[in-house]
């Protein structure tokens, strides 16, 4: 009886050790990144009152994946700022997509939501970063389109 319990315990430990070894061997490492510093100006058209309203900035790959799964606008990271000059540093995941889009929207009504069916005052804009990849980039964003998401701006419509 005691010998059977000992064998069961050894079998359990060996199985658990094998499982852990298998899972750790199969786990993918972190994707390589490169540091990027981004800066620029976020502005609104004349006459739009911002009153220090929060601006949400989302960074996206312009394109992600390959072949039939290739698609635009893959989220990377987000931060908050206000209109005017901004700067932000982040780690760009180099193997999960290509290009860089800077999309921003301003919460003019202060509800924390980018537009609703009843309130359509929030403004948005998107800039495609040229000459990327680069360790330092500039992206100026004009928030001049009401209630548009990043996919409204990119990829640009073709005729």
Q: CATH number of the domain that 100 lies in?
A: 2.60.40
The confidence score (pLDDT) of residue 31 equals 79
Q: Quote the pTM value.
A: 0.80
Residue 18 lies in a domain: no
Structurally, how many domains does the chain consist of?
A: 1
Domain region containing 138: 33-153
Give strand ranges (E) for the chain: 33-43, 55-64, 71-81, 84-93, 101-106, 123-128, 136-138, 141-142, 145-146
Residue by residue, pLDDT tens for the chain (159 residues) are 555 565 556 655 656 556 665 555 555 568 799 999 999 999 999 999 898 899 999 999 999 999 999 999 999 999 999 999 999 999 999 999 999 999 999 999 989 999 999 889 999 999 999 989 999 999 999 999 999 999 999 998 776
* Cα–Cα distance, 108 to 110 (Å, whole number): 6
Residue 41 lies in a domain: yes
Residue 50 lies in a domain: yes
Residue 3 lies in a domain: no
Residue 49 lies in a domain: yes
Residue 120 lies in a domain: yes
Residue 28 lies in a domain: no
33-43/136-138 β-pairing: parallel
The confidence score (pLDDT) of residue 156 equals 85
* Cα–Cα distance, 30 to 130 (Å, whole number): 27
Residue 15 lies in a domain: no
What residues pair up with 141 in beta bridges, in sequence order?
Answer: 42
């Amino acid at each position: 009886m005691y010998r059977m319990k000992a064998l069961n315990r050894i079998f359990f430990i060996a199985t658990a050790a094998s499982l852990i070894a298998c899972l750790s061997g199969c786990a993918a490492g972190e994707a390589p990144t490169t540091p990027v510093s981004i800066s620029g100006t976020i502005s609104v058209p004349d006459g739009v009152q911002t009153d220090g309203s929060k601006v949400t900035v989302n960074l996206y790959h312009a394109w992600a994946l390959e072949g039939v799964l290739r698609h635009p606008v893959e989220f990377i990271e987000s931060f908050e700022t206000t209109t005017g000059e901004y700067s932000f540093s982040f780690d760009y995941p180099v193997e999960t997509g290509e290009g860089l889009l800077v999309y921003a929207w301003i919460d003019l009504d202060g509800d924390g939501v980018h537009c609703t069916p009843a309130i359509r005052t929030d403004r948005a804009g998107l800039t495609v970063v040229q000459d990327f990849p680069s360790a330092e980039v500039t992206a100026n964003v004009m928030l001049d389109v009401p209630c548009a998401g990043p996919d409204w701006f990119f990829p640009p419509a073709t005729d």
